[in-house]
Amino acid sequence: MKHVFAIAGRELGSLFVSPVAYVVLTLWAVLAGTFFLSSLIGFDQQLAQASQYGAQEYLERMNLNDHLIMPFYGSMWIVLLFLVPAVTMGLFANEKANGTDELLYTSPIGIWAIVAGKFLAGYVFVFIMTLIVAFFPGILFVYGEPEIGKTLSGLLALLLVSVSYVSVGALASSLTKNQLIAFVLTMVSLLVIGLMLPFIVEIGVGGDSGGGGIGMGPTMRYIATGTHFEALVTGVVDTVDLVYFAVVMAVCMVLSKAALESVRWR
């Protein structure tokens, strides 16, 4: 394990030496503040309109989690699709471009330790991003009474989605020595599993049963990260969703190892 932590520390150090980490964290913090303020204003407007029209039943159903925190988390989930590729594009590609990957391969450190260390560095980075997001709902506990269970479940959803996206990005980085290609490949992959698959299911292209569809609806719905994010962000922590993210991480790690080994033995 010491090799894994050593590689993770080295990779994190490289990230924070480059401007990429600071640009990503700054953009993330600014966008988080902007979307939180937007959600807060939207919540206040809904309260005002409901009071104006005497919608007492609607007022009683309104709460901070469903009408403010959830929309905020949903906005940040979309932002992840565009920022995570910038974090992961150099995890392996940078080593290949600089020729330092050969030093890693010929060292006594196993391929698994290299892969795990690189992945861990990405996971730690997105954990820091999640902590930044956690600050904003935390403010609400000073002035209101949001449900702590739903709030934490939403943060867990963001963290798990981030981790799965880092896994996909690390895999893309292991396939090329060009960081730009890794960035584009990651973004396209995340857009497909994050936005396009849910849209395809929504319009019924995949079909859910016999009839005119091809019966791929349930499968596509399960593969889509949005399905599992939405379940967790509503406060429902299901084993099915946790298994999904664990499988994404494991598959990406195995494929990354295979990609590195294929280069090693050429």
**pLDDT, position 104:** 67
**pLDDT, position 213:** 47
Is residue 161 within 8 Å of 77, Cβ to Cβ? yes
**pLDDT, position 202:** 65
Q: CB atoms < 10 A from the CB of 36, how many?
A: 22
**pLDDT, position 201:** 65
Alpha helices, H only, the chain: 2-17, 19-52, 56-61, 64, 70-88, 93-98, 101-106, 111-143, 148-174, 179-191, 197-202, 217-223, 225-233, 239-264
**pLDDT, position 211:** 43
**pLDDT, position 266:** 58
**pLDDT, position 126:** 93
pLDDT tens digits along 163-208:
999 999 999 999 998 999 999 999 999 999 888 876 776 666 555 5
Residues of the chain with pLDDT under 70: 53-54, 57-61, 103-106, 198, 201-217, 263-266
